[in-house]
Amino acid sequence: MIDKVFVYGTLCEEESNHYVVAPFVQSTSEATIQGWLYHLPYGYPTMIPGAGKVRGQLFELCDVPAALAAMDWLEGYEANRPDNEYERIVTTAVTEDGQTHDCYVYIYPDRHQNRLEPDAIFLPAGDWRAYRRGEAWEMYFAYGSCMNRDSFAVDVPVYRVLGRAVLNDYRIGFTHYSAYKWQGGAADVLPASGRQTEGVLYAIPADLLPALDRREGVETRIYERIAVEVKMGDRMVRAWTYTVMNKQPDMAPSPAYRDTIVAGSDLLSEEYVQELTRFMEDLI
């Protein structure tokens, strides 16, 4: 029997409806599941299936039938009822130690999803509790050395990896010579109809955007930060990325830069990584 439930809104600890499940909670872990999160105009969140990540808490339950009955009542769910407010499904949660757990979660039914636009607020960072606390998170699409989490963390120590994303109608290039840091060509994205650039979509605290700007040389006009729409799964997400201001013909990246990019490309498709690797090698 499944004895865990993933919660992401008012059932979380210290939230208004935690009392409903509190008598049944044996242990609590911070966790994520896949999906897209929204804040509804009624003051609480909902989620739908998707490629994003939703952050919440994983409760290990005692007296599971009684715990589910209490939560079912709150969420407006009844088995086999056609007009449920939420549906209870089984999914997989990942805790902070990387362990996976089968669990229940309550999600918005397909028939209610037309309510989400335009009244609900899309929360691509996937954290309703942070939204409630007034924390601002920005989406950032990385396609070069910033895909490498070790490299990225040097300048942006707090971040959340959302996953692989695709920037349509752009190609990757190496149009800036990095004399100080890399001693070779540095990555850029250039408009190119029908082409795609794969990368890593991050959520970062808004107050760390200046640190990212410094890493990318915005003040010295090496790169500029631009807003783009990237595709993650079946959803378009608005994000920041950077493009070279004074573009030169593509030039070879240094071995160290190539290695940094390849090491950070583990979330990308195998086909794209092979194509990118060949392109970098052909520039030598």
For residue range 255-269, list pLDDT tens digits in order. Answer: 999 999 999 999 999
**Nearest-angstrom CA–CA distance, 226 and 275:** 25
Q: Specify the pLDDT at position 111.
A: 85
Residue 117 has pLDDT above 80, yes or no: no
| The pLDDT value given to residue 50 | 93
Given a cut of 90, whether residue 167 has pLDDT beyond it is: yes
**Tens of pLDDT along 28-60?**
999 999 999 999 999 999 999 999 999 999 999
Q: Tell the residue number behind the tokens 């739908």, with chain if given.
A: 48
Q: 60 with 25: CB under 8 angstroms? A: yes
CA distance 150 to 110: 39
Of residues 133, 248, 233, 91, the one with CA closest to residue 184 = 248
Give 126's pLDDT tier (boundaries 50, 70, 90).
very high
What is the reported pLDDT for 116? Answer: 87
Stated pTM of the model: 0.90
The pLDDT of residue 114: 81
What is the model's pLDDT at position 34?
Answer: 96
172-to-117, 167, 186 alpha-carbon distances in Å:
33, 10, 10
Query: What is the reported pLDDT for 1?
Result: 86
Contact (Cβ atoms closer than 8 angstroms) between residue 31 and residue 96: yes
Check residue 238 and give its pLDDT.
Answer: 96
**Mean pLDDT score of the chain:** 96
Q: Which domains does the chain have, with CATH numbers?
A: 4-131 (3.10.490.10), 137-282 (3.10.490.10)
pLDDT of residue 218: 97
From first CA to last CA, the distance across the chain in angstroms is: 58
pLDDT greater than 80 at residue 164: yes
pLDDT for the residue 85: 93
Segment 60-73 shows an average pLDDT of 98
